[in-house]
Every structure is written in structure tokens, then in C-alpha cells.
Amino acid sequence: MIALIQRVSEANVVVDGVTIGEIDKGLLVLLGVEREDDVAKMQKLATKVMSYRVFSDENGKMNLNLEQAGGSLLVVSQFTLAADTGRGLRPSFSGAGTPDQARELYQAFVDFCQSKGVNTQTGEFAADMKVSLVNDGPVTFNLQV
């Protein structure tokens, strides 16, 4: 399971001209599901995302996690993160989770974060989405479990 996280001052997702998810300060999470992923990996990754210290403390050091910084999550399904780009000029998606598996783990990720009290907004699984963000830093990390 892969989470590309970006620290943002604002982010939103638009589907068919309608904003369906929007946050101010927080993390935009692009979430990719791979074939071998399961609920245990999802919980480990979600916990890591919520606990990762990427927000600045009073000394300007990245020492605060999402909760300590008072931030929110915007979680967007990102199938292409599971691509194998190691050979040739066309990505292979043979390692990506099936649509049913990915939908289930994506929703479980969102539910898990919400159950921990985190304001969690979403995109729409498998939709054509327009994602806008203001990357704060810029700060971007690729987390995997």
C-alpha cells in the first residue's frame, strides 16, 4: 500500500464541476493499493500517515503530526501509484489491487482515520477527479508498508 502525502495549506477535489472534498491545513493523501495489501497493512499505513511528523513546531522544525498541528486529511484514490515503471516506456499495472480490493481498502482507510477523530474528506473512487492543492513547503513524502 502506498500513500503519497503532501503537506497543504488547502486542497480540494472536484467531480463533474462539483467540489466533493475540501480541506484547509493538513495532508493530501494519494492512496494506491497493491495486490498483496490487506486490512493490517492499511491500518499500519493509516497510522503512519496520521502520526508522521511533517508540520513545523514553534522552532520551525518538522516535529508535529497531523493531530498536533490541527490538520485534516483529504484522501484520494490513486490507481497509478501502483504502477511498475521499471521497464520500457509504458507503465504496467499488474501489481495493482483489483478494483474491488482497492475500493474496500480505500474506504477502510478513510473509515479508520475518521474513527481516530481526524477530519477526513475524500475524493470519489474511480471517478475522473480534478485535484487542486497548495503544497506547503513544498513538502511531499512517499510512504509505503
Q: For 115, which DSSP code?
A: H
H helices of the chain, in order, are 39-51, 66-69, 99-115
Cβ-contact 86, 69 below 8 angstroms: no
Q: Which residue(s) pair with 10 in the sheet?
A: 134
Q: Is 80 a catalytic residue?
A: yes
Q: Is 78 a catalytic residue?
A: yes
Residue of 6, 47, 68, 78 with catalytic role: 78
Residue of 80, 85, 98, 144 with catalytic role: 80
Q: Is 19 a catalytic residue?
A: no
User: d(Cα 12, Cα 121) in Å, to the nearest integer?
Assistant: 9
User: d(Cα 25, Cα 70) in Å, to the nearest integer?
Assistant: 8
Q: For helices 39-51 and 99-115, what crossing angle results, to 10°?
A: 40
Residue of 43, 79, 101, 141 with catalytic role: 79
Instruction: Read off the C-alpha cell for 64.
Output: 508535529
Q: Which residues are catalytic?
A: 78-80
